[in-house]
Structure 1
């Protein structure tokens, strides 16, 4: 089932309201919340975002108690499902239309399109591989001899 996304202008208006409410909260100075609120669909709310913006969302969600208190006071749900996220944001897409309608031109230092992110990640992968790392530094191909392991334990 495909959920029809609401008009960008309508989402932008609600996103501005949510951001103002969150910004006015004494504990924290949000965006997907508006889409979720209007559709009631967590999958639809996983709109494409830029990688640096996604990382900021992860940082915010890493403080669950703080976020729970703020969202309870504001009366919104912040939606972000890591297993469903897609960072294939591109200028002119739905996310871009909503963001521009709400806040104007996105900061191009943070809003990197999917092709630029892929280019940068490929460059990093080549550097990691040259050093013996795989999966962007999450794994390695190092081997250790028994003597090296014994020496490192001392």
Structure 2
């Protein structure tokens, strides 16, 4: 018999997980490392879907959203019997991109995991769509988030349809300077001296 995991169960465990992580002596360093990582946060299709994005000004609120989703994912991982695929909850692209900045702080995260006994769960190969941005209002992730933390920050929680629309706008802009295939190819005139 399969147990159905309820959003309220995920929410309750996620709040506990986040509180444990926030109490860790290196949580501040984790935040500071992510904030200082802003020069490496550039990407063509993740953060740029945020209207008037500013790496430094948006970092604090985006970090909060990301840590909350990471707590939800860790809770889901535990509640699902350590099922990575089930734990890879849908999330908006900006939060997904920030989770990559977070997981780049590998050494600090490893020590926090060891001290708390709670794994940070993130597996890009398990994501639906392989590039994040599968979140939709009212979906399971949204239900869990609301139950745990209240309303989402709408600045960063851009749904899948709107994300794709914005990415199509970016496709046209970037193609004009030689960046194509959603940033996977670039042929920019003038990079190499003749």
TM bin (shorter chain): 0.7 to 0.9
Give yes or no for contact 1:5–1:44 (8 Å, CA) kept in 2. no
Does the alignment pair 1:107 with 2:148? no
- Alignment-derived partner of residue 83 in structure 1: 125
**TM-score after normalising by structure 1:** 0.86
- Alignment-derived partner of residue 100 in structure 2: 58
CA offset at residue 74 of structure 1? 1.3
- Alignment-derived partner of residue 77 in structure 2: 36
Give yes or no for contact 2:84–2:126 (8 Å, CA) kept in 1. no
DSSP-derived class of the 1:83 partner = helix
CA offset at residue 20 of structure 1? 0.4
Aligned length, in residue pairs: 146
Deviation string for 1:47-106 (max 9, x for gaps)?
Answer: 101111111111110011110111111111111111222321011000000000000000
Query: RMSD of aligned C-alpha atoms?
Result: 2.1
* More contact order relative to length (CA 8 Å, sep ≥ 6): 2
Gaps of 5+ in 2: 29-66
CA distance in structure 1 between the aligned counterparts of 2:3 and 2:159, rounded to whole angstroms:
24
Gaps of 5+ in 1: none
CA distance in structure 2 between the aligned counterparts of 1:143 and 1:121, rounded to whole angstroms:
23
CA offset at residue 137 of structure 1? 3.0
CA offset at residue 5 of structure 1? 5.0
**TM-score after normalising by structure 2:** 0.69
CA distance in structure 2 between the aligned counterparts of 1:5 and 1:65, rounded to whole angstroms:
35
Aligned partner of 2:88 among 40, 43, 46? 46
- Alignment-derived partner of residue 23 in structure 1: 22
CA distance in structure 2 between the aligned counterparts of 1:4 and 1:110, rounded to whole angstroms:
32
CA distance in structure 2 between the aligned counterparts of 1:102 and 1:68, rounded to whole angstroms:
25
Q: Which moved more, 1:32-41 or 1:134-143?
A: 134-143
